[in-house]
């Protein structure tokens, strides 16, 4: 983010703005701090989150002693330009107590890995590195990619009906991987499937008079 693209209102709170720090992958809120204008610009310049310490009366870069820096992925101001949402990649536990977040939560979300996996697959499609299995799939063409999805689906069914739970999980994960490759080749995201499932759930909920129908149409 360029400095010129954000005009923050530092005066509203006496020279400070709150900064909510969120993990870019898990979307967990990691901590909340305050920035003055100098801290904000240092964050932009170094790509590591720097706050203004109200107790120490100085700038401090998160991780300057522990090494657990917060690497900036994006910075978003709110609608009033007096609060920041900073998405980061943490280099270790965020809280000084040693926990993942300053709110005592685990910084993990297994489902968010699916989006990360598709990002990885999309990079493979763009870069096409030699020796990569994913590259070979894209090079094989849409018919072969679709065939692989079918093969993995059959193997998943076999393990579900006559195999073990461990093998079922193994084959189902292969199925999901090849499905994401196929979706990527067609220009779709796994989130497109999520939105379609939401539509179906909302429709069925409304038909069944389940309260969830009041959320239909929200996206």
Tally of domains within the chain: 2
pLDDT tens-digit series, residues 165-212: 999 999 999 999 999 999 999 999 999 999 999 998 888 777 666 555
Main-chain dihedrals φ then ψ at residue 52, nearest 5 degrees: -105, 120
pLDDT tens-digit series, residues 52-109: 999 999 999 999 999 999 999 999 999 999 999 999 999 999 999 999 999 999 998 7
Confidence at 32, pLDDT banded by 50, 70, 90: very high
* pTM across the whole model: 0.63
What CATH number is attached to the domain comprising 56? 3.10.20.810
Residues 14, 75, single domain; the answer is yes
User: Which residue has 């968010």 as its token pair?
Assistant: 112
Q: Which residue segment(s) compose the domain that 29 sits in?
A: 3-90
Q: What is the DSSP string of 101-140?
A: STTS-----TTHHHHHHHHHHHHHHHH--TT-HHHHHHHH
pLDDT top residue among 13 and 140: 140
| DSSP character at residue 163 | S
């Amino acid at each position: 983010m360029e400095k010129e693209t954000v005009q923050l209102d530092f005066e509203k709170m006496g020279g400070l703005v709150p900064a909510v720090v969120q993990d870019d992958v898990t979307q967990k809120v990691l901590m909340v701090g305050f920035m003055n204008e100098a801290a904000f610009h240092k964050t932009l310049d170094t790509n590591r989150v720097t706050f203004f310490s109200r107790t120490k009366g100085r700038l401090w870069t998160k991780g300057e002693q522990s090494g657990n820096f917060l690497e900036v992925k994006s910075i978003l101001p709110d609608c009033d330009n007096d609060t920041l949402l900073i998405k980061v990649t943490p280099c270790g536990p965020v809280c000084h107590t040693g926990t993942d977040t300053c709110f005592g939560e685990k910084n993990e979300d297994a489902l968010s890995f699916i989006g990360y996996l598709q990002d990885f697959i999309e990079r493979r499609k763009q870069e096409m590195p030699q020796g990569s299995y994913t590259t070979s799939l894209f090079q094989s063409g849409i018919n072969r990619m679709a065939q692989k999805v079918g093969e993995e689906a059959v193997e998943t069914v076999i393990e579900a009906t006559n195999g073990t739970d461990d093998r079922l999980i193994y084959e189902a994960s292969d199925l999901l991987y090849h499905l994401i490759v196929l979706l990527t080749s067609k220009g779709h995201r796994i989130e497109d499937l999520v939105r379609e499932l939401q539509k179906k759930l909302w429709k069925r909920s409304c038909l069944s008079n389940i309260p969830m129908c009041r959320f239909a149409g929200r996206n």
